[in-house]
Structure 1
């Protein structure tokens, strides 16, 4: 029996940790909406309305401190502190502004992909082309964007099934099933509903890449688009599936660990401790007046006259009566647990939570940075390699030739420009001791020169600049250039 909705066991096993990290990174609202999935009820066996109301207040008072989400944004920002290097043939220049056909640039899409990998350690990219008949696409269609290669981004949750098979000396993808959400217009033409469909990518028995689409119905999924074979720029069918897996460890088909999972678990524990701490502060945080030695007559008198607090409202008590204010002793267990988890998150990489008070030397700072960003470096390297491969496939779709490179920054330390070093390097170039290309690369790495400019482009721009006075060729010199009479 055909079941396009089948999911692999590894996919099912990863659902809990994927949801946990996703929800934590989204923030307080998402975590609190989940209710007792993340914050257990203090008295779960009590189903009364009073207990439900108490739990709602208990949850509302809790403070969710989103260290995990802030850490993710900080790490992505560190990668794009220096602009990536993009080198593509002229036919693919559009990827710098629109790589997916929806106005998202390769830079924006790769930012999002890095965020996904930090959250769940898995992602996918599909290189595709408009489904048109061979030979019917004109240059005008390509320039207008009606038919051109693009890269579609798929989160880990959308990649529900995959298979590989050995062809010669390598293992090739033979099947990928992608679950997609598509908008369907309602009958009135204004509203829309979301439907689920499945895009099936496979290598058929003859080794040709095909696509087909299934739509989820009320009882079963049915095929809505029959298998078709996309063609490359030469009009030939593909012999591979142009789908690229990305991971936090490598870019194979296996599901890698989530880099932020451990921090997310601690973050949820911090949230639960906060709920207990705020509940205790609410219940016993205010001082409680008390009286003793009252008989019924004094009690009735005070109830009738009312009891007021303050120096201008003295309490009249009978002989041997006593009064006071009861203040609960501080219970620091929940607070200490919160502080301990905060330190745990700091050690796991949440630098934005708390900065160290000690002043570190430059060497210590560099060593700390190298250790802390080792996982991020691996993620960035995987993303660079994946996009470089996708751009090669895009070039094959449009039959373009030339160098293809997409390289993200892997130096996450704060970039500085040292005037002394800069002067020494310049003098070395002037003295013939350092190639000018190495000097320009130093400036590229520090954002002074556009990292996408080649040495030849820099040299041409320098030669085109005038070294003399900024005078226009058509400027008229007064008095024919002769000195004026005094």
Structure 2
């Protein structure tokens, strides 16, 4: 079969991924799809539809929620444990030379928006240079195959789209050795591809026996396609957009008072303009007035939009919620976001495991201990900084012997008084240095 043939799961999910990208990109991307997201009312001309489309309002719930949830995860930087050799490479670990934290943020956003991403551990084919991590979005992971090897399912073939002209095929050959093929389209007119390059990556001169690729989903590291966490929110966002088009169209048609004249008028007597400074000379017996909309239809459309905005808040758009009149306690904030935080915790834990697995492949490839690599993403999404009276109460408890110094440290760290990543021994040494 052609190298660009997609996996059935990829084919089924592609329209949803495109919809998610458009919703996150905003108004211009959504309106560019025209009839796909905003059907034309029956009997409406093309010219009238263009005006109908222009008046529609896009409510950026998907984009703002994506930014807010990703920001909550990276409110504190990832905790990275790695050998010094690998740690020194983290500032340029991505395929484009970018740092690890930027790569981690990109993977997290892909998991939130598309529910899927992939990380390929690779190194230059021409020389034994330092390996790096290449991020592939869901759309670029075209096809994959798995088979039972040594008693467990293992990835045996993977096709990645580099761009419209190139594809990368990763496979285990008949001998179980890892092989890479680069396919290039024969010409811009032809759809066929041909192998332009083929090589066998090695480690210390020995071929690899596994494909160094990590699938990262919202809930698992499985190759199976998952539903994006923000899919329901994006669907509600589009429904709100369609409501707004009808609402704005109704406002346009009914919001401007229209004059009427009752009586017998000759053609030459009919007014041709309206406004201050304009005098109408009408025959005797004519009456005039203004047509104004007084029905409840507009209010029903407006209420439908408000209902959808409230449901978007429930589906994850917490940042769109109107400010409370009274200040909320930290506990109230935590309870209000409990369900959202639970799903976000699962995603943060999954992405952390995916990043760990990918970095362990790099460590192994360089002869380092893979088990010494661990990545943990922040799962404390709501700020819980201790207030001054609470800090004083903790210090007094420690001074009176009610709690240990270690317990005091744990509470100050949980209360975000101490910087993230500083352990108890480091804090103790700093205190000792200042005391000296």
TM-score by length of 1: 0.81
Could you list the runs of 5+ residues in structure 1 that have no partner in the other structure? 138-146, 182-194, 469-486
| Residue 391 of structure 2 corresponds to residue 419 of structure 1 | no
Distance 2:98 2:374 in 1: 19
Given the superposition, is the C-alpha separation of residues 40 and 308 from structure 1 closer, same or farther in structure 2, using an over 3 Å criterion?
A: closer
2:12 aligned residue: 13
* 243-252 or 347-356: bigger deviation: 347-356
2:196 aligned residue: 224
Distance 1:14 1:24 in 2: 16
Given the superposition, is the C-alpha separation of residues 202 and 344 from structure 1 closer, same or farther in structure 2, using an over 3 Å criterion?
A: same
Corresponding residue pairs, total: 429
* 153-162 or 437-446: bigger deviation: 437-446
* 271-280 or 11-20: bigger deviation: 271-280
1:320 aligned residue: 285
1:400 aligned residue: 368
**Runs of at least 4 residues of structure 1 off by over 6 A?**
none
Distance 1:400 1:435 in 2: 39
Give the alignment's Cα RMSD to 1 decimal: 2.5
* C-alpha deviation, 1:169, in angstroms: 2.9
* 313-322 or 76-85: bigger deviation: 313-322
Distance 1:343 1:381 in 2: 28
* C-alpha deviation, 1:442, in angstroms: 4.2
| Residue 176 of structure 2 corresponds to residue 211 of structure 1 | no
String of CA shifts for 1:195-241, please: whole Å, max 9, x gaps.
42111111222222221211122241111112x32223x44332221
2:168 aligned residue: 199
Distance 2:177 2:417 in 1: 47
Could you list the runs of 5+ residues in structure 2 that have no partner in the other structure? none
Distance 1:355 1:372 in 2: 17
Superposed, 1:232-247 pairs within 5 Å as 232=203, 234-247=204-217
Distance 2:87 2:220 in 1: 28
| Residue 222 of structure 2 corresponds to residue 252 of structure 1 | yes
TM-score by length of 2: 0.90
| Residue 110 of structure 2 corresponds to residue 128 of structure 1 | no
Query: Which of the residues 80, 96, 99 maps onto 1:105?
Result: 99
Kept in 2: contact 1:91–1:398 (CA 8 A): no
Query: Which of the residues 372, 390, 397 maps onto 2:340?
Result: 372
* C-alpha deviation, 1:425, in angstroms: 3.9
| Residue 346 of structure 2 corresponds to residue 352 of structure 1 | no
Kept in 2: contact 1:162–1:176 (CA 8 A): yes
SS in 2 for 1:81: coil
Given the superposition, is the C-alpha separation of residues 438 and 175 from structure 1 closer, same or farther in structure 2, using an over 3 Å criterion?
A: farther
Distance 2:360 2:109 in 1: 23
Query: Which of the residues 148, 155, 159 maps onto 2:130?
Result: 148
1:390 aligned residue: 358
